[in-house]
Amino acid sequence: SREKVMAAIPKLEALIKEVIAKGEVPGLSIAIVHQDEVVYLNGFGLREMGKPETVDPDTVFQLASLSKPISSTVVAALVSDGLVTWDSRVADLLPSFQLHDPYPTAQVTLRDLFAHRSGLPGDAGNDLEAIGFDRTVILHRLRLVPPSSSFRAGYSYSNMGITAGAVAAAAGNGKSWEATAAERLYDPLGMTATSSGHADFVSRTNRAALHIKPDGTWQARLKRDADAQAPAGGVSSSARDLAQWLRLELGKGKYEGRQLIAEEAIAETHVPLMTRGDNPVTGSASFYGLGWNVEFGRYGLMWGHAGAFSVGARTLVSIYPKSDLGLIILSNAFPT
């Protein structure tokens, strides 16, 4: 009920202030949506240690893998408009793309890549990105990587797999991924602080730095440009913007009274497709849908995803659809 949600917020706020006071994280921003209303939006702590600027609801954070369910929503919008389907074959949308073996190359779909069941090893392409190769080169070289499992038989969490699926879907839209994400999601929801490009993030005045603890104190030493895997890890956004995305997700594709994404297209993203074993914290059965973790725990059905850069970011989305409740937490440090 709304009463229970509102009664919990002061406890949550007190806990966050304690976390900040103890130095467990430099800064946090939080959004809570309940029954299509943003019931809580706040920021705490510092954007960057050693500087006076504080975090507020408009501070832009790098989201890391929280980008994946956002990108899934973008593709759902393309599916809704009939430009692609979740079962569109990548070979038809992006003929240059190849996996190691001919059969998966010919048959792999957007659904396969967003569910991490293409057979690509989880780390495929990550080292190339770290060295500095761009997205085009990395996707081209995935054809050299032997599979970690038979096609559609195993789950292997792959940044470049999601990226390939998103790029293929954008090809069905006739535009770049970055332009497609803005056109299909960020602009319709008024998410003016949100982007899938690193240059946009660094141009923001109100942005959070990444922090690590090399000697026991938080320091903003490192940068992270995730453009090569933008659909999987390169989105930047604020708690205020992401609250609007939560409203869309909880509204089953409806926003401000308009059905922006067909209910069936967005619903497919939340269907559990691949088992991930039990959640190590809660013990709940955990599955992967299309860019979403799907769990059945003590609070019932949950759709969620975490994000992290080891160079200094940690993010989280949790949605409880039966309670019409969604939560975003953005932080500027790792580990937390």
Per-residue pLDDT of the chain (336 residues; tens, 9 = 90+): 899 999 999 999 999 999 999 999 999 999 999 999 999 999 999 999 999 999 999 999 999 999 999 999 999 999 999 999 999 999 999 999 999 999 999 999 999 999 999 999 999 999 999 999 999 999 999 999 999 999 999 999 999 999 999 999 999 999 999 999 999 999 999 999 999 999 999 999 999 999 999 999 999 999 999 999 999 999 999 999 999 999 999 999 999 999 999 999 999 999 999 999 887 777 778 999 999 999 988 889 999 999 999 999 999 999 999 999 999 999 999 998
The DSSP result for 59-73, as a single string, is -BEE-GGGHHHHHHH
273 Ramachandran zone, left/alpha/beta (phi>0; psi -120 to 50): alpha
119-140 burial, b for 16+ CB within 10 Å, e for fewer?
A: bbbeebbbebbeeebebeebbe
* pTM for the predicted model, two decimal places: 0.97
Amino acid at 225: D
207 HSE (CA, 13 A, CB side): 20
Report the alpha-carbon distance of residue 130 to residue 288 in Å, rounded.
Answer: 26
Q: How far is CA 37 from CA 32, 44, 59, 244, 255, in A?
A: 8, 21, 20, 9, 11
* Structure token digits, residue 203: 């141009």
Both tokens assigned to 209: 């730095």
For residue 264, give the 3-state DSSP assignment.
helix
Q: Other C-beta atoms within 10 Å of 210: how many? A: 23
Q: Are 190 and 96 in contact (CB under 8 A)?
A: no
